Amino acid sequence: MSKAASSTSVLTANRLGDGAVVFLDYDGVWVEQVRGAAIARSPDEMRALQDRGAHDAARNLVVEPYLIEMQEIGGSFVPVRFRERVRVAGPSILAYVPGYTPTVPVVRQAHHQGEASVAPPELVDARPQSVAQAEAA
């Protein structure tokens, strides 16, 4: 797992069964869109994400979880490194691939038994205050 980033980060991994790139959301669910990813803004929050990633890797839900450093541009969060921007967006050349046919992702997490008896580490809710307060209201 990568070192904790200094600013804001999201946690990514590959789903075990099909290898799809996934991101951990605020509910502890691995989702395919970075838009819903939980954003960690402090070392404690990053550790919480990492702990959850290690837990879910041990349960065989995902493979090789690591933090991606993000930066806010124009109100949206995008990865700092170009490499991670490609990971988030997918290959840049799919429009040129001969015969390319996007397939519907199949979620088979239910097939993976893992260590269900171990409670997952709690996620720190690092949503921006305005979002958290609005949902609470």
Partner 1 sequence: MYRYDEFDAEFVRQRVAQFRDQVHRRLAGELTEDEFRPLRLMNGVYLQLHAYMLRIAVPYGTLSSRQMRKLAHIARTYDKGYGHFTTRQNLQFNWPRLEDIPDILAELAEIEMHAIQTSGNCIRNVTADHFAGATADEVADPRPYAEIIRQWSSLHPEFSFLPRKFKVAVTAAEHDRAAIQVHDIGLHLKRIAGGGLGFAVWVGGGQGRTPLLAKKIRDDLPEADLLSYLEAVLRVYNLHGRRDNKYKARIKILVHEVGAEPFAAEVEAEWRRIRDGALKLPAEEIGRIDAYFAPPAFDPRPARAELRLPDRAFERWAARNTHTHKQPGYAVVTISLKPVGGIPGDASAAQMDVVADLAERHSFDEVRVSHEQNLVLPHVRIEDLHAVYAALKAAGLAEGNAGLATDIIACPGLDYCALANARSIPISQRISERLAPRQDEIGDLKIKISGCINACGHHHVGHIGILGVEKRGEEHYQLLLGGSGSEDASLAAITGPGFGPEGIVDAVEKVVDTYLRLRTDPGEPFLAAYGRLGPAPFKEALYVAA
Whether the Cβ atoms of residue 65 and residue 21 lie closer than 8 Å to each other: no
Q: State how far Cα 37 lies from the chain centre.
A: 5
Min CB(131)–partner 1 separation in Å: 28
Whether the Cβ atoms of residue 46 and residue 38 lie closer than 8 Å to each other: no
Choose which of 7, 27, 44, 108 interacts with partner 1 (CB under 8 A): 108
> Which C-beta is closer to partner 1: that of 91 or that of 120?
91
Q: Report which DSSP code applies to 121.
A: P
Q: Which residues contact 8 (CB under 8 A, 6 or more apart)?
A: 39, 40, 41, 69, 70, 71, 72, 77
Site for partner 1 in 81-100 (CB under 8 A): 81-83, 86-87, 90-93, 96-100
Asked if 19 interacts with partner 1 (CB under 8 A), we say yes
Stretch that binds partner 1, among 3-11, 13-21, 46-54, 122-130 (CB under 8 A): 13-21
Note the residues at the interface with partner 1 (CB under 8 A).
14, 16-21, 57-60, 63-64, 80-83, 86-87, 90-93, 96-103, 106, 108, 111-115
